[in-house]
Structure 1
Amino acid sequence: MASPVPGTSNVKLFQEAHSFLQNISAEIEVLKQEVLQDHELRKLEVAEARRKLEQEKFERREQISRLRNEFEEFVNRKADRVLEEVEEMKASDKKDDTSQQKQIEYIVHDMEMLRGDLFSIQAAWGKLAANCLVLPPE
């Protein structure tokens, strides 16, 4: 079938193709805008996630620092307490040593007195034996 007006079917054919391309181009533009909007949303989400991550890192560092300080204080208190107890034990041992030394000196003094008294008793027994012992004449 030939068209009554020469070249009108070619124009119609190109108008349909041109219209199709315009529609495709419009759809591509809409998709492009959607992709750009989605990309911007993702960028905002990524930025927010990074901000949250940095905030959490800061909080963790702060918690670790606080925990380390508390632990150091705890260790220092325990070490100080141990040192105090060691000093107390040394003082107690020294006090005990002094007390024991005094007891030993008291015992030594008592033994010296006992020794002196035993010498006196021996001398008295020797005199008594000499006085009571009658030797037969020879």
Structure 2
Amino acid sequence: MQVEQVALKTIVTATVNENKRLFITKRVFPEIHIEDDLIVASDSKWLRFILGQFVTNAVKYTFEANKKIVISAIKKDDYVQLAICDEGIGIPASDLSRVTKAFFTGENGRKTGESTGMGLYLAKEICEKLGHDLAISSEVGKGTIVTVTFTN
């Protein structure tokens, strides 16, 4: 992994564009609220990979059309916090602590039949290697928020 200074909005926009067919098919609309000049220390290739996992999960588990996925970032003195917020089906509380475990598909993953249980596991492992904190909060019927914190 090669950690360098990367423009966060550029990586997020590229990830959204890579998944535009999925957004169109599911009729889910992305919104990006990130300052153009916001820089974080990360590996651009692996950051795109983990963001791809979060974005595809957000779209995949949003079953109703005309919902939004909002990707935003805030800069504090010594960190940047990136949040991917969806209006999907949410994750049951009983599954939340296990969604980043290898091969865990959970109740919702079994419903779609597409889940391998590896996406969030790999994303968590990569975040750890890059020194990024990962947090996932969710409410059934309301949606999920995935937060990545970059320390500067």
Q: TM-score, with normalisation over the residues of structure 1?
A: 0.18
Q: Which has the higher strand share?
A: 2
Q: Which has the higher helix share?
A: 1
| Bigger radius of gyration | 1
Larger RCO, structure (CA 8 Å, separation 6 or more): 2
Q: TM-score, with normalisation over the residues of structure 2?
A: 0.16
